[in-house]
Amino acid sequence: MTGTNDAASGGAARDLRNADGSPSAGTAPGAAGRTGLLEPVHFIGLGGAGMSAVARVLLGQGVRVSGSDAADSRTLRALAGLGAEVHVGHHAAAVPDRGTVVVSSAIRPTNPELVEATRRGLPVLHRSQALAAAMTGRRTIAVAGTHGKTTTTAMITVLLRQAGLAPSFAIGGDVAALGVNAAWDTGEVFVAEADESDGSFLNYSPQIAVVTNAEADHLDHYGSADAVQDAFRHFAALLPDDGLLVACADDEGSSTLAGAVPHTRRVRTYGYAPTADIRISATRALGSTTNSVLSFAVDGLDAQQDLQLSVPGRHNILNAAAAFTVALELGVDPSVAALGLSLFSGAARRFEARGEGDGVRVFDDYAHHPTEVHAALTAARTVAGDHRVHVLFQPHLFSRTREFAAGFAEALSLADTATVLPVYAAREDPVDDVGGWTITDRMPAPGSAYVADPDEALRTVVGNAAAGDLVLTLGAGDVTQYGLRLVRLLMDRETTPSAGLDGAGGTDQRQAQGGATG
């Protein structure tokens, strides 16, 4: 499948660097426009959320884009429709003769396209470097944090659109209110999700930096919690003298970061803490809806603003307060900011409704860190009311499972039943002595089970759920595919009461983790 875009722009190329920051092995001839990227720009792994976002922005600027991915997808077809030259499968022949090659941290050095690009001496950039180039000339808002950055980035974008600022944006997930995960627009602001997982958020030059929280995670990359905190300090240090750090006062890591910023830099905090500059209070929850009051100062005068959200959970109220703080900095009227936030209906895989069957509602969430799991299940309990909550959890990465097994066990205990799948390995090689059982062994209470076979796990969840209950699929791997399967099983059960229940009971199976890589 191919699509083409013949647009090219002129200009002088700037010095490009490899993904590790070292000088490129060579320079390639070709046009370089306002971004300084030599064209065409070729993405290895184009279908990924982060990569496709950058490609959309470049296509919106008229930059020639090509790319490949292992399998066909709706994302690839959409990009082809926008003019990208798209290849299914990774082959050396897909690499253009000239231009710039873009990779993410998920691309291994043995990828045939990366090997070919290196052999030819083409400039190779990390995805974050390509996005940084695409944002040149815009006032950049970079949103970072161990959790909540996708939702917060999306909230800021929806709010600013409602306020008429026409922001460009790049988000690590689809947003219903936006229709896409990225776009190039006419306003002077660019809102970008800044991924800390591999340190690539240090490639940006933000004028406003948002840190939703700063917890230990991605220790496979950083090695220690202290190294994670150091990375966030470097991120805050990227701000210019007239820049602004927006930090969560309720999170220890974020508030510590705010306190360490030199007094010459501006900081605005938000949260329930009494010291927060934008303080949340009077929160009331009814199902998926919450109402809160935001207290803040404008031009030295105390002010308040009612905030209503249609997405559940305390964590989303905090995310909205971060977006509100950014809006105040940009001069948006508080009532307009609150209206924009009230229109936010959620980001893909963030407590996303997947359907209902036999009176059981099924939701899906990307949570893959103990704090995220705790937040998602707390929200689920609010939405479920007096009914029970059942969770199907897929651990993501062996290193994270080993490091946070006790935290996962504690968070999952918020559910009435917890069924845990094998680890989704993603970029890691399997580890024999770590698995889903590493978590459930710390959950002796009835209702928790490690189930190695996905089909049996689905039957277990269906067997546990009764009409009025809520089921939540959790994890950053392919567990998201199981939500619709659960809905179908529940619907089958509704028409044939015995359907989907054979084998229920959650037998603990410590089988080899075949399929753990998804």
Q: What SS3 class is residue 433?
A: coil
Q: How high is the pLDDT of residue 219? A: 57
- Name the catalytic one among 140, 149, 269, 440: 149
Exposed, middle or buried by CB within 10 Å (0-12, 13-18, 19+), for 357? Answer: buried
* Partners of residue 271 on adjacent β-strands: 279
> Are the C-beta atoms of residues 209 and 236 closer than 8 Å to each other?
yes
Tokens of 79: 């990009």
Question: Tell me, what's the pLDDT at 30?
Answer: 52
Please, are residues 418 and 394 in contact by the beta-carbon 8 Å criterion? no
Residue 240 sits at the vertex; the CA angle it makes with 145 and 274, to the nearest 5 degrees, is 50
Residue 312 to residue 161: CA distance in whole angstroms: 22
DSSP state of 66: E
Q: Which of 35, 146, 150, 473 is catalytic?
A: 150
Query: For residue 38, what is the DSSP state?
Result: B
- Per-residue DSSP letter, 164: T
Using a 10 angstrom Cβ sphere, with 0-12 exposed, 13-18 middle and 19 or more buried, the burial of residue 514 is: exposed
- Which segments of 104-188 are extended strands (E)? 124-126, 139-144, 168-170, 182-183
The amino acid at 120: R
At residue 14's C-alpha, the angle toward residues 10 and 18, to 5°, is 125
Annotated active-site residue in 193, 372, 428, 456: 193
User: What is the spatial distance between Cα 42 and Cα 79, in angstroms, rounded to a whole number?
Assistant: 13
CB 196 within 8 A of CB 146: yes
Query: Helix, strand or coil for residue 27?
Result: coil
SS3 assignment for 176-197: CCCCCCEECCCCCEEEEECCCC
Residue-by-residue pLDDT tens, the chain, 518 positions = 433 332 222 222 333 333 333 333 333 345 555 678 999 999 999 998 889 999 999 999 999 999 999 999 999 999 999 999 999 999 999 999 999 999 998 899 999 999 999 999 999 999 999 999 999 999 999 999 988 888 999 999 999 999 999 999 999 877 877 888 999 999 999 999 998 877 788 999 999 999 999 876 655 666 787 888 888 999 999 999 999 999 999 999 999 999 988 877 899 999 999 999 999 999 998 877 899 999 999 888 999 999 999 888 899 999 999 999 999 999 999 999 999 999 887 766 677 888 999 999 999 988 888 888 888 898 888 888 899 999 999 998 898 898 889 999 999 999 999 999 999 988 778 888 899 999 999 997 788 999 999 999 999 999 999 999 999 999 988 898 899 999 999 999 888 866 544 434 433 444 434 333 33
pLDDT score, position 439: 93
Q: Are strands 301-309 and 244-248 parallel, antiparallel or unpaired?
A: unpaired
Identity (one letter) of the amino acid at 55? A
Residue 164 in tokens = 């008429």
Q: Which of 177, 174, 172, 173 is nearest to 161 (CA)?
A: 177
| Residue 426 near residue 399 (C-beta atoms within 8 A) | no
Q: Tell me if residue 193 is catalytic.
A: yes
Q: What is the pLDDT of residue 334?
A: 96
> What's the pLDDT score for residue 106?
85
- Residue 502 burial class via C-beta count within 10 angstroms: exposed 0-12, middle 13-18, buried 19 and up: exposed
pTM: 0.71
Say if residues 397 and 434 touch (Cβ distance below 8 Å).
no
Six-digit token pair at 363? 């939701």
